[in-house]
Every structure is written in structure tokens, then in C-alpha cells.
Amino acid sequence: MPSDKPTMSPKTTDPHIRWHQQLVTRAMREARNRHRSALVWFTGLPSSGKSTLAHNVEEKLFAGHYAAYVLDGDNVRHGLCRDLGFAEQDRIENVRRIGEMANLFLDAGIITLAAFISPYKADRQAVRTLVGPDNFIEVFCRCPAEICEARDEKGNYAKARAGVITRFTGISAPYEVPPDPDLILDTDRTNIQTSVSAVLSLLRERCIISEGGEGHAL
């Protein structure tokens, strides 16, 4: 069983700061929601379909009366991470912040769908370690770079090739493929409905959601 207390960052060393134990626990929230919380981490190249998939999964879960929320790579850079650029250390800090926020969402009893390029294996592993491996589901949206570039509505691949954007993942910055993801989706060949179904099936296998369970319509 997962702990009711979110894992605190190992960098919390100030002796004047201590964890204030909640009166309402994660287990109590999960019991009310009638489902477990979990972190589903979608990773892949830019324009590989991470955000589209995450938002479609969220829509399906919401329709089934599950508590779910998408943390989207672009969206968080409008607020929480707006002070960060795309240098290596900024990317590391970006993922670290999202991991800490997702950890709080787990405690809140929410199925969290995080859609981030997250190009470095070490950073994804750090999030897995932070939230606990039983709470972390890694989904690799696999798609060839040329297909990603062809479907890029923002034109960032072209800007990267022209040198307008520096350190762009897949062009001028590396992407480290997950060595052992929980699910691989070939998003260049698999339609969105099939991909959504595959994610939901995995959530059922992990006993996070149920097929038409009490209070839920899936």
C-alpha cells in the first residue's frame, strides 16, 4: 500500500521546516473517489502526440467520473516554470518541479497525466523514485523524427533547423529513449482511439480504474 504522506524532496534540509501531517489522508481521498491515484508519464519527441493522447485519456476518465488532470509541458511553462529556458539544467529543473507537483496530486487522490518531452532518462527515473515505482506508469510515444516534423503545427522543427531555436530535442539536443517503459505506442501508426484504449487497459491492469465499477461509467 502506498504511504499517505507524499515523499519529501531530499533537498529539504532546513531544520526549521517540518512536514505537517494531514488529517485527510490519501487513502481517504482514494476511498471517496473509488479509485487509486497514479502518475501516468507520457514521454517522447516534440509532436509525437503526448499532449493529444494525455488530454484524450483525461476526457475519457472524466466522462467515467474519475478524478484526473493533465499536466502539460507547454501549459506549465506559462506559470509554474515560466522562468525556465531549455538549457540542460533548466530541463532538469522543469521535470523536477513537475515531479514534486505530481507527487502532491497523488496525495490528492488524482490520476495525473503528465505530458512532457522529458528527454533524459535520469530525470524520468528521479520522478519514478520520488513518487514510488508502484505509482509511476511510463508511456513512450514512439514516433520517427521525420513524422514528428511533418505534423509540427508550431513550426519549431523548421525553426530549429534554421538555428532560430537552439537546443531543440530531436534536432540539436538529445532524446534518450526509455529502456523499459510500461507501454510503447507507435503514434505514427496507431490512431488516437486505439492509443487511448491501450492506456485505459493498462490502468485497469494496474487496478487503478475498473470496468464500470461503482460510480464509474467506463
- Read off the pTM: 0.87
Domain-located, residue 16:
no
Sequence-distant (6+) residues with CB within 8 A of 69 are: 58, 105, 110, 111, 112, 113
Helices (H), the chain: 26-33, 50-63, 73-76, 88-107, 121-131, 145-150, 156-161, 192-205
* Residue 33 pLDDT exceeds 70: yes
184 in a structural domain = yes
Sheet of strand 38-43: strand arrangement: 68-72, 111-115, 38-43, 136-142, 183-186
Per the domain annotation, does 6 fall within a domain? no
Q: What's the domain range around 97?
A: 34-205
- Between the alpha carbon of residue 214 and those of residues 35, 89, 108, 143, 211, the distances in Å are 10, 45, 20, 37, 9
CA distances from 38 to 114, 173, 204 (A): 11, 30, 12
Does residue 45 lie in a domain region?
A: yes
User: Which of the four pLDDT bands, split at 50, 70 and 90, describes residue 15?
Assistant: confident
Give the residue numbers annotated as catalytic, written as ranges: 118
109-120 mean pLDDT:
95
How far apart are the C-alpha atoms of 89 and 61, rounded to whole Å? 34
Residue 66, classed as helix, strand or coil, is coil
- Does residue 212 belong to any structural domain of this protein? no
Q: Assign residue 14 a region (left: φ > 0; alpha: ψ between -120 and 50; beta: otherwise).
A: beta
Residue 41 sits at φ, ψ, to 5 deg, of -110, 110
CATH number for the domain harbouring residue 168 = 3.40.50.300
pLDDT at residue 125 above 80? yes
Assess if residue 77 is contained within a domain.
yes
Residue 212: CA count within 13 A, CB half-sphere: 0
- pLDDT at position 82 is 82
Which of 17-21, 28-32, 149-153, 199-203 shows the lowest mean pLDDT across its residues?
17-21
Total domains, the chain: 1
137 DSSP β-pair partners: 40
